[in-house]
Amino acid sequence: MLCLPGFSRSACCGRLGAAARSLSGDRITGFTLSPPWWRAQQPSCNIQTWGRISTMSRGLHSNRHQQQEEEDTGRMSDYGDTDSLTEHDLGSEEEEEVLDFTDPFSTEVKPRILLMGLRRSGKSSIQKVVFHKMSPNETLFLESTNKICREDVSNSSFVNFQIWDFPGQIDFFDPTFDYEMIFRGTGALIFVIDSQDDYMEALSRLHLTVTSAYKVNPDINFEVFIHKVDGLSDDHKIETQRDIHQRANDNLADAGLEKIHLSIYLTSIYDHSIFEAFSKVVQKLIPQLPTLENLLNIFISNSGIEKAFLFDVVSKIYIATDSTPVDMQTYELCCDMIDVVIDISCIYGLEGAGTPYDKESLAIIRLNNTTVLYLKEVTKFLALVCFVREESFERKGLVDYNFHCFRKAIQEVFDVRVKVLRSRKHLNQIRNSRLAAINGKPRVPA
């Protein structure tokens, strides 16, 4: 076991130990971080500091947002990730201010995810917990949303969308609510149902929402979160899921809309289920997903790796994984590893204006069941987290070399996306200037 300087073994293991135990009773036997993180200071770290750590971790999130803002305005230097360059060059932020909902080009730049459902079903809590690192208990004090709240999530070129949180009492028949305009540019509609409440009203609202949206935009992905399942027993969870699925599909079949597909997830903000569900929703909006999965498959099969995830570090959404099945405990362990890495980096690694996650970021955790967890930076906001058998990890040189190739390939995927967006923007400009000429307006110089 390698302990960090001034870092007691028990403190180091406490949280990871809990994480590791969730993986069929495994314990951590070793934990290594790359030197830049822990060479810096010598703070003594005892149990009391953990409270501070999580605050810092949340601080990191806001740092990231600030950093992203800075990037968007082109003030920050860039490391090997075309994000900042891309978004800035493409002027997506400026474009966004004048987003035209009827414009097919603008929606492709930033897909929209709508959060809908009855009052108090948990919509704002989901958004706050996943994207603002709010602790689940703090959501108890959230006030009811009374207007549509829009938020941009731009953590990387792949995780790049808008979330719209709707107030529960929204009325589709209100003439001031232009739902056509809203649904037209939507990639995914998440409908949240409170599983601890009577869900009959929620089901009829789901039906109304889905049918209205489908009429406007048949390409929307309909995602149903059966939420707050932390309050249900395992049997009750399955039964509720079956019942809701059946009733929702029956309602659609009665309306002759059986072709609409509803994806159902059991979620709670008190565990990782909400992150996993959101990961799946976001993945469907990433056009490069098959390429990323393919790259991961090639990477693991050539490196003796059991499982690999490509994570967005800020939100802990995994944007792709290889084709072997995902189990919840593996995913949880990866999330916990990211937390620990960022927390420790915040304490030991920050020098001056440094960020807790950079191109040097690397961590290795050895479990006592001969599994090694390996985390490595891919781009400024993406990390690869792998599960490797100890014997395969003995050939670390090979893993590292293959990782290098994998990272290069990811960069190429980014570059293609940049080119596509650039040409799309160019086409858009030509189209707008033609329209302006037809309407007799003077041309705006490009």
Nearer to ligand GTP, 226 or 346 (CB): 226
Nearer to ligand GTP, 64 or 227 (CB): 227
Nearer to ligand GTP, 132 or 247 (CB): 132
Q: How far apart are CA 328 and CA 273, in angstroms?
A: 8
In the region spanning residues 210 to 249, those forming contacts with ligand GTP, defined by CB under 6 A, are: 227-228, 230-231
Total number of residues that touch ligand GTP (CB under 6 A): 22
The tally of CA atoms less than 13 A away on the side-chain side of residue 220 is 29
Which residue bears the tokens 């602790």?
135
Q: At closest approach, how far in Å is the CB of 229 from ligand GTP?
A: 7
- Tokens at 249, concatenated: 């599909």
> Which range binds ligand GTP by CB under 6 A, 253-261, 263-271, 312-320, 411-419?
263-271
**Adjacent-strand bridge partners of 162:** 112, 152
Residue among 82, 86, 160, 268 that touches ligand GTP (CB under 6 A): 268
Contact code string over 102-141 relative to ligand GTP, x by CB under 6 A: ---------------x-xxxxxxx-------------xx-
Residue among 107, 145, 156, 186 that touches ligand GTP (CB under 6 A): 145
Q: At closest approach, how far in Å is the CB of 329 from ligand GTP?
A: 19
Q: DSSP for 55-114?
A: HHHHHHHHHHHHHHHHHHTT-S---S-SHHHHHHHHTHHHHHHT--TT-HHHHHHS-EEE
Among 432, 379, 403, 397, smallest CA distance to 157 is for 379
186 near ligand GTP, rule: CB under 6 A: no
Contact code string over 66-105 relative to ligand GTP, x by CB under 6 A: ----------------------------------------
Q: How far apart are CA 320 and CA 406, in angstroms?
A: 13
Nearer to ligand GTP, 110 or 128 (CB): 128
Nearer to ligand GTP, 52 or 58 (CB): 58
Which residue bears the tokens 């060059």?
89
Nearer to ligand GTP, 24 or 146 (CB): 146
Residue among 203, 269, 344, 399 that touches ligand GTP (CB under 6 A): 269
Among 375, 402, 148, smallest CA distance to 299 is for 402
Nearer to ligand GTP, 232 or 365 (CB): 232
Contact code string over 272-301 relative to ligand GTP, x by CB under 6 A: ------------------------------
Residue type, 259: K
Q: At closest approach, how far in Å is the CB of 230 from ligand GTP?
A: 5
Q: At closest approach, how far in Å is the CB of 265 from ligand GTP?
A: 12
Q: How far apart are CA 407 and CA 288, in angstroms?
A: 15
Q: How far apart are CA 287 and CA 319, in angstroms?
A: 11
195 near ligand GTP, rule: CB under 6 A: no
Q: How far apart are CA 233 and CA 251, in angstroms?
A: 27
Nearer to ligand GTP, 221 or 268 (CB): 268
Q: How far apart are CA 8 and CA 397, in angstroms?
A: 31
Q: At closest approach, how far in Å is the CB of 199 from ligand GTP?
A: 14
Nearer to ligand GTP, 111 or 122 (CB): 122
59 near ligand GTP, rule: CB under 6 A: no
Nearer to ligand GTP, 145 or 402 (CB): 145
> C-alpha 158: how far from its chain's center?
10
Nearer to ligand GTP, 148 or 289 (CB): 148
Q: At closest approach, how far in Å is the CB of 259 from ligand GTP?
A: 29
Among 366, 365, 344, smallest CA distance to 356 is for 344
CA distances from 254 to 187, 191, 257, 411 (A): 25, 20, 7, 48
Which residue bears the tokens 């750590």?
53
Residues 6+ apart with CB under 8 A from 378: 310, 384, 406, 407, 410
Q: How far apart are CA 29 and CA 13, in angstroms?
A: 9
Residues 6+ apart with CB under 8 A from 356: 60, 342, 345, 346, 349, 350
Residue among 61, 270, 324, 428 that touches ligand GTP (CB under 6 A): 270
144 near ligand GTP, rule: CB under 6 A: yes
Residue among 6, 14, 59, 167 that touches ligand GTP (CB under 6 A): 167
**Binding residues for ligand GTP (CB under 6 A):** 117, 119-125, 139-140, 142, 144-145, 167-168, 227-228, 230-231, 268-270
